[in-house]
Amino acid sequence: MNKRELGHSGLMVSEIGLGCMSLPTNQHEAKLIVDAAIEQGITYFDTADLYDKGENEVVVGHALKGKRQDIILASKVGNKWKEDGSGWTWDSSKSYITSQIKESLSRLQTDYLDLYQLHGGTMEDDLEEAVDVFESLKKEGLIRAYGISSIRPNVIDRFLRDGNASSVMMQYSMLDRRPEEWFEMIGSHGASVVTRGSLAKGLLTQDALKRAEKSDGYGEYSKEALIDTLSQLTQSTQNLHSSALAFVLQHDKVSAILAGASSANQLEETMKAYHQPISSEQLAHLKQYLRADMYTDHRL
């Protein structure tokens, strides 16, 4: 497994990381997947206090027990569950982040996080305060680096300008190329991109057309346009799954892809695809079939 630096943090992350949101709540089943990931060379694991109302962090902490020194562990903060569990509100205040890091560390059974991320954000937030608390947590040794998970360019730019963030998590794939416009801006601030949704809910795997037939489209693609695009892609590459991963990783501003897995078999399929070489010429050929959309809202 190749590794890349997370921004200028000095942290080296595996090019494929495990997005832990889809892990089973059963600790034994989850541990099987995490163990399989580590055997495949994955060293980067990402969770959030939002997932399963904190239980996902508990599951991840249990699965990684005894392996902490060998992995890069990330979590997120900012979404506050309502007392009745009916949903959540947004809180990026210093007091909330300061209290929640302690809760996350306890659930994850660790003394520190390698990466702590603001799990959203708006221009109405006091982002300077949020950055300040992340910087304080670094000085205390509770986190090694911090970042933001957002698809809002204006929020991302402001967050990066106000501090020394190392990463921006964004949805990015062959079927959602909106982030490309902002890669240079992110890199200019010393940060790098971590992608999610890079297989577009399984539409960029060997089951592409089956999934497309059952869908209502994807992003800016209508169902008809989606089926047409995926038909062209599958006819132009021997392994769409491999091409989808390679398409994302061809960008030097991207540090890692977070891939979800609800079973060890699903993870194995992703790793097989990752190890299948795809040439830059092949990727350039496939690009002609793809939309080049841009964000219409939250622009700089």
Catalytic, out of 51, 116, 172, 218: 51
Task: Identify whether the C-beta of residue 46 lies closer than 8 Å to the C-beta of residue 17.
Answer: yes
φ/ψ region of 76 (left if φ > 0, alpha if ψ in -120 to 50, else beta) reads beta
User: For residue 210, what are the contacts with CB-CB under 8 A and spacing of at least 6?
Assistant: none
Closest CA to 155 of 145, 144, 141, 170: 170
- To the query of whether residue 116 is one of the catalytic residues in this protein, the response is no
Residue 189 is given by DSSP the state T
Task: Identify whether the C-beta of residue 47 lies closer than 8 Å to the C-beta of residue 84.
Answer: no
d(CA 17, CA 9): 17
Residue spans of alpha helices (H) in 141-262: 153-161, 183-188, 208-214, 223-236, 240-249
d(CA 171, CA 166): 17
User: For residue 111, what are the contacts with CB-CB under 8 A and spacing of at least 6?
Assistant: 105, 142
Structure tokens at 61: 């902490």
What 125-129 contacts at long range (C-beta under 8 Å, 24+ apart), as own/partner pairs, is: 125/90, 125/92, 125/155, 126/92, 126/93, 127/92, 127/155, 127/158, 127/159, 127/162, 128/162, 129/92, 129/93, 129/94
Structure tokens at 41: 């060379």
Active site residues: 51
